[in-house]
Structure 1
């Protein structure tokens, strides 16, 4: 009896839950397993997007690109006029771009032999005319003609110093070519594409003011003594040279104004230029110091010419 009871106690199965230490029957254990199956599995959170602050493009297509932007404000005012002018400039640039692409397409077709007969000659002439326009519209350098070799070739010296054996384009006026003349050079081939008829150096032309000075002596506060001296030494020899001839006095060739910044030196020079209708050149002394020998004195001579 005792042995059988001990064997029965060993055969009994006792179930314990994790939440409590109370024994459970097999029915309760089966319900717990069923509830655990119904629970959702753990899933990691989604990763943050790397596209921060980017906006997706709207799929408008060509219709959205061809649509003109709305101009604000809608009332008639100067701001609306300026914005419409800006849109007009963008449209002109777009038209020029389309024309250039069409011209390049025709030139490429003519080069590949797509066009035949009289159309090929027309396209070839248009291509050559386009090349000439491109050369004329490209950035150009300035050089000096040193020697003419023949009608199609010459030796020029550029502003950077070295000399080049270059070709002369067919549309350049050969009658204007002479040693010492200033010529325009293509920025890639360094060929002569034009002649500067004006003897003035382009650097000197840049120094000139676009508009004549409007300052007068009344705009200068004080400096009565300096104004009187400048008028006697600069203005009178230009406007009334006969007064110096009658007195037998040789007028001065120049005047040097010195003083601290902001004391009216430039203002006084502009007033003299306005009073005598002379050309006012804005130049810094360091601009006359050039890299190569002889360029600085040449600029000084052209300044006083």
Structure 2
């Protein structure tokens, strides 16, 4: 057989399709609903809400239990630490033994194991050791220490067993007012001019010192408030402390009087040094006439100590810069009894008198102190003021408080006119008809 020649074979260009065969492959097409409701509808997913909430509740309970476990663990550690600290303290007290008294370190050696101590009840000096449990970082020259007794008489110091904090620092910390006074200028009536003068001398130099520099003037160094008792001297000092962010230090003149020689001037120096540390600061010296009276020749040691205290006060007032951030405010009832050197210009540059309120000011003070009280409609304050002409702001406040107490005593929530009339009789002391006699 021979090879087939394919070159001569012709491929048909057209194939006839049988009549029974279809031209397309049939496929079922699903109808599409193109309505707006179907396209905008979001499929809902409904979780098992009860199981989910139960799971969250159990997780919250687990967190609370874990927190309680941590708290119990920390508390138990603290209790163990407290027990250890108490036991250590008892051991130290046993080693410390009987304390004979308080001494003062005169000389401290380099090894910090021995010191020369003087006792308060004796002029003798003792060379005694310092026990190992004493905190060496607190040891300073002139610091107060606890001294252990010993010897045949059980009254001889043999060792230093403790260190006391400086008493002067504890006394000075009592002068600092940590909380801001609640009194404000809105609660003061009848002293509008005095408030302006006080703010110009105390508040504005602390808040706007650039104004005084631009004007080329110096702000007042000190201010003294004087007037009869109950006219608002202390109230003004509290209000000026409330209006500024400065530290408020308050000291009474009687607190600066010391029995021991040299303690009064030392207290003044420490007080002014504390004012510098807490600057900006307002130092309020109330009842300054306790240490600032006129000087006279005397042989009494107490009077001489008071005069030395006043001399130190004069020295501190001269040492302050006129543009410093420490302002001095004094108060007294008797300015005529003060020494002229204390209130001269350059030390006390502004003197503000606080008189007793007039009729209009009294009405304002009554309205201020009765603003939170339930008053009867028939109350007439002008009628009350006509019965007692001279009346201070402190006395008006006392009258309002006494009237409220009388209403409570009668089981009433409304204060009536008769309560105020009775309160005035109780507050004011009636002069006795009997003459005063002098008994020799």
Length-normalised TM-score, structure 1: 0.47
- Bigger strand fraction: 2
With a CA cutoff of 8 Å and minimum separation of 6, indicate the structure with the bigger relative contact order. Answer: 2
TM-score, length basis structure 2: 0.34
